[in-house]
Amino acid sequence: MNHKELICINCPMGCMLSVDIDENGEMTVSGNNCPRGDIYARKELTDPTRIVTSTVSVRNGELPVVSVKTASDIPKDKIGAVMDSLRGVTVEAPVTIGETIVKDAAGTGIDIIATKNVGRQ
């Protein structure tokens, strides 16, 4: 039997999760105070993903940068490649919330979108 311990990041409670994995790969999750903890533990141990947040430069904007994020979660092992795909990106103002900044970031199939409005200077 394999044993793992995780801290759930799905809500502010931060439940301490214990996961036992038997020889058939069946998981038993305990320590969660809500069903989201069970779902999180199973996903984290089989297919971990994250939302990536960052900023990119804005040309002729009221602000020098705009905050961005992945439109949905990406495989955890692609975080570095997604961050690399943002290096050197500059957008022209105006920028609107939800606007696609980078399509198919690092070949993940997931776009990078703006999370803030930035008006033209």
Tens of pLDDT, residues 75-97 = 999 999 999 999 999 999 999 99
**Is the peptide bond preceding residue 75 cis, with omega within 30 degrees of 0?**
no
Say how far residue 45 (Cα) sits from the centre of its chain: 16
Predicted confidence (pLDDT) per residue in 17-54, tens digit: 999 999 999 999 999 999 999 999 999 999 999 999 99
Cβ atoms of 42 and 79 within 8 Å: the answer is: no
Q: Distance (Å, rounded) from C-alpha 64 to C-alpha 40?
A: 36
Cβ atoms of 3 and 35 within 8 Å: the answer is: no
Q: What is the model's pLDDT at position 64?
A: 98
All structural domains of the chain: 2-47 (no CATH), 53-114 (3.10.530.10)
100-119: average pLDDT: 98
Tokens 């970031």 correspond to 105
> What's the pTM?
0.83
Amino acid at 120: R
Counted residue by residue, the chain has a size of 121
Q: What is the model's pLDDT at position 62?
A: 98
